Amino acid sequence: MNALPTPFAPARAEVAHAGADAAEVFDRLRRHLSPKLALTGSFAGRGAVETAALGPRVTLSDGRTALDFGSYAVTLLGHRHPAVVAAVRQQLETMPAATRSLANPVAAQAAACLAGYLGDRLPKVYFGLNGADVVEVAVKLARLATGRDRVLAVNGAFHGKSLGALALTHSPLYRAGLRGCTVDVVHLDPQDGDAVRRETAAAPVAALVFEPVQGENGALVLPPDVLRTWCADAAAAGALVVADEIQCGLRRCGERSLALAAGLPVDAVLLGKPLGGGVVPLSALVCSERFYAPLAADPFLHSATFGGHPLSCAALPAALEAIEELAPHGRRLSALLDAALERSAARFPQVVRAVRGTGLLRGVDLVSARAAGTVLVELAAAGLLVSPCLSRPTTVRLLPPLVCTEEDLAHGVELLDGALAAVALGTDTAGAGAARAGTAPRHATGAP
Ligand SMILES: Cc1ncc(COP(=O)(O)O)c(C=O)c1O
């Protein structure tokens, strides 16, 4: 097996552990944040909390370490990638905050860098911090640019939880108690190639918004032929096309942008999660002149205090460079993962219903939400952190970082097989026979 071409391997032994007082952390979480998050966090860490991290590994307060194949897709470059940390540190010691009245060179450089990274077909950039920030601004600009209101999204979509983004998110789980949404959205069946043609004929449409791979919906890859037809039909009807690649872009699934690589006629690509190198929060809308026109006419139409924050923007060039350096390694990891997950599914047919996804975004769909919850807890106990899927509770999501070695990947799959075996045999520590159908608590290991 080949060695990892980054400085992580030698540094691993130096991982610090801060020895936090875990009981006090849980008490504060319970009292001032969320009792449920305290509970799920305590399940996942078996009473310990996270204290430090480097590369693909996290150190817990009890001294244990865990491989991180989760972190909701943020840590594509692992934790504390040295080049990203150095860039952010330099900015921290120079000018971390912007005056917002003087021109800021860091945001300008990051925007030029990102537009160039995506091939310069989409020249305009708006920076946010979270994914939902740029979903909101995309919908707002599409409506203003077209003078239309309706938005088409996809069944199973996840675009965030702020009110505007929530209208596009499909799962009713996150809308409970909220009557009505601020955006007029129609959700389409991804098997229905005629859906966009029909909807645009029925009433004017401002935008079509889709994720090429629906991460929170179990790493579901949308059919490329349907996306091609939808995009062409939307463009023909004068609607703007938005690819939300906040989770699946930036080489997570092999390409810088899946939509651009496929030659889809998109007007905007949304990026986030690993865009700040796994060190700082950063998201971006990268779009055409037409899309951006309302904001070009009035930059205060949509602005936020921390938009284009220098500390976040400083990370971007270093993050993209590191991602590109590791992309060939990522392709090798992806091929290994393909084969390994196929073997796991064949070994445990009584527990695994399907394996989905592509690249380093994979979903192992289990026979029940309870089985998935049990696998998550078993894995955390064994030293592998993975993420649940917010919209598909039966699926366990694997998000290995580009910085893990082939040995790390093999070890992760070995731990997965162990957890699947425990669930299949009913010997799991979280409750025997969990594979038998039943409903687990919605978020078994601390999902936000
Ligand atoms: C495709 C996609 N879009 C948008 C979002 C929302 O991002 P955030 O949670 O950073 O607001 C997510 C989050 O998982 C996502 O996967």
Examine the pLDDT at 230 and tell me if it is beyond 50.
yes
82-321: in CATH 3.60.110.10: no
- The residue that leads in pLDDT, 9 or 249, is 249
Average pLDDT score over residue span 209-230: 98
Q: How far is the CA of 295 from the centre of ligand 1 (A)?
A: 23
The residue whose CB lies within 8 Å of the most ligand 1 atoms, and thus the one to mutate among 246, 252, 269, 387, is 246
Q: Which atom of ligand 1 is nearest to the CA of 248?
A: 1
Rounded Cα gap, residues 247 and 258, in angstroms: 11
Q: How far is CA 62 from CA 21, 125, 251, 399, 405, in A?
A: 9, 43, 34, 25, 25
Cross-strand partners of 335? none
Q: Which helix (H) or strand (E) holds 114?
A: helix 105-117
User: Ligand 1 centroid to 264 CA: how many Å?
Assistant: 21
Query: Which of 397, 386, 420 lies closest to 70, judged by CA?
Result: 386
Interval 114-156: pLDDT, tens = 999 999 999 999 999 999 999 999 999 999 999 999 999 999 9
User: Residue 179: its pLDDT value, please?
Assistant: 77
Could you identify the atom of ligand 1 that is nearest to the CA of residue 215? 16
Measured CA to CA, the distance from residue 328 to residue 93 in angstroms comes to 33
pLDDT in tens, 93-109: 999 999 999 999 999 99
d(CA 168, CA 181): 9
Tell me the pairing of strands 395-398 and 361-366: antiparallel
From ligand 1's centre to the CA of 21, what distance in Å? 32
Tell me how far apart the alpha carbons of residues 244 and 275 are, in angstroms, rounded to a whole number. 13
CA of 390, closest atom in ligand 1: 14
Query: Which class for 179: exposed (0-12), middle (13-18), buried (19 or more C-beta within 10 A)?
Result: exposed
Confidence of residue 321 (pLDDT cuts 50, 70, 90): very high
Q: For 129-234, list the strands marked E by DSSP.
A: 150-154, 185-188, 205-210, 213-214, 220-221
- Please tell me the distance between residue 159's alpha carbon and the centre of ligand 1 in angstroms: 5
Per CATH, 12-80+327-425 and 82-321 having the same topology is answered no
Q: pLDDT tens across 370-418, in order?
A: 999 999 999 999 999 999 999 999 999 999 999 999 999 999 999 999 9
Residues 59-105: tens digit of each pLDDT: 999 999 999 999 999 999 999 999 999 999 999 999 999 999 999 99
The residue whose C-alpha atom lies closest to atom 3 belonging to ligand 1 is: 159
**Residue whose entry in the numeric block shows the structure tokens 């162990």:** 418
Q: From the CA of 132, how far away is ligand 1's center (Å)?
A: 6
- Residue boundaries of the structural domains of the chain: 12-80+327-425, 82-321
pLDDT averaged over every residue in the chain: 92
Q: Which mutation among 75, 159, 211 tests ligand 1's pocket best, with the greatest number of atoms within 8 A of CB?
A: 159
> Atom of ligand 1 at shortest distance to CA of 214?
1
Task: Tell the burial category of 262 from Cβ atoms under 10 Å away from its Cβ (0-12, 13-18, 19+).
Answer: middle
pLDDT value at residue 19: 53
How far is 268 from 74, CA to CA, in rounded Å? 21
- Domain 12-80+327-425, CATH 3.90.1150.10 — does that match? yes
